[in-house]
A and B are shown apart, each in its own frame.
Chain A
């Protein structure tokens, strides 16, 4: 028992082990970083960035040393019902928290919209956003959800070649989405749509704030997902299969689909609905 506790504290690798301090460090990074941003206290933002680097580095290092984070227990819905692994329950609870987050964010955007003096009409030629380009980007994200679902299917059915190919395709599609969004942001800045009111097109100030906040948070989530996919691709392409590979791919997939679902609502809200 004591030996187990010592090993637990050291984060050592043993069958079914799951302890890691690094997710907590990353959560602390978020608290310091975003807290600092909120009150514009830059040392706290810097502490957040440093903690993020340390947390991610520590977690990757621990993973590269073969520590399994998989929980092997199961959550019983019902004594004779089906079982859910704790990792899967964990990602679903995380997804629920993300739905809360984006609901709040979108509601704030709707409140801005109803109170704004001016809101551009998507059907008007003066509409600042590039609807065709973003429609293409939407197709790209939808396609990446499809490739991710195929990758999960390949992982669960133990078809590694299929899984690898679709994981790589998802990574490429996800990175393309981010690249197109960065390109669009750059063009919009040139056309004086900024997250803050500007002197060239002052009437677009409120729209700009709502647009960049919502699509920016979504873009940050996609970027996080792309980094996760990069990590998963490296693991899947170079290493031997690990025992919980199917579940890991499924969990990353669930996050990726969440990001797609959020975009399914954000795209019409920001690009297709006027006031």
Chain B
């Protein structure tokens, strides 16, 4: 059993690539853009709903990057990849309820 764990660690070590700096730069740039997004209606007259849409998309993109690369989900077995997706069904359900209200 201990050998399996060691093998598992070796597997992780072999498969881990390190786009960490690139992810950091992307996260920082997206955050810089995000901070300016609330000013868009005043600057170019976009609708408030576009602001919300942009921020939701950018947040999801950032979260996915952290999960895939910093949390190594990209290199994990399928069962682990889908585990954190399971509660998102609940997220959709709650979002629908909030919107309907």
Contact = CB atoms under 8 A, between A and B. Distances in A.
Interface residues of B, number: 59
Interface string A123-164: 100000001100100110011011011101100110000000
Contacts of A258: 71
A73 B23 CA distance: 33
Contacts of B28: 139, 142
Contacts of A93: 83
A4 to B, nearest CB: 16
A272 B55 contact: yes
Contact of B84 (A96, A111, A149, A152): A96
A71 to B, nearest CB: 9
Nearest to B67: A261
Q: Main secondary structure on chain B at its contact with chain A?
A: helix
Contact of B38 (A104, A123, A265): A123
A215 to B, nearest CB: 15
Nearest to A138: B31
Given A92-B84, A104-B94, A82 B77 contact: yes
Contact of A153 (B18, B38, B42, B101): B18
B96 to A, nearest CB: 10
A122 B35 CA distance: 10
Contacts of B69: 149
Interface residues of A, number: 59
B70 A145 contact: yes
A85 B5 contact: yes
B63 A261 contact: yes
A95 B2 CA distance: 25
Nearest to A100: B87
A116 to B, nearest CB: 12
Interface in B19-35: 20-21, 23-24, 27-28, 31-32, 34-35
Contact of A142 (B24, B59, B84): B24
A92 B82 CA distance: 11
Interface string A247-263: 10010011001101100
A247 B21 CA distance: 22
Given A103-B87, A123-B39, A156 B66 contact: no
Contacts of B80: 84, 88-89, 92
A74 interface: yes
A23 interface: no
Given A99-B84, A139-B31, A153-B16, A246 B77 contact: no
7 contacts: A81-B77, A83-B77, A99-B87, A111-B98, A156-B12, A247-B5, A268-B34
Given A84-B80, A103-B91, A107-B97, 17 more contacts: A77-B78, A81-B77, A81-B78, A83-B7, A84-B77, A84-B79, A92-B83, A93-B83, A96-B83, A99-B84, A142-B24, A142-B28, A145-B27, A153-B18, A156-B13, A258-B71, A267-B34
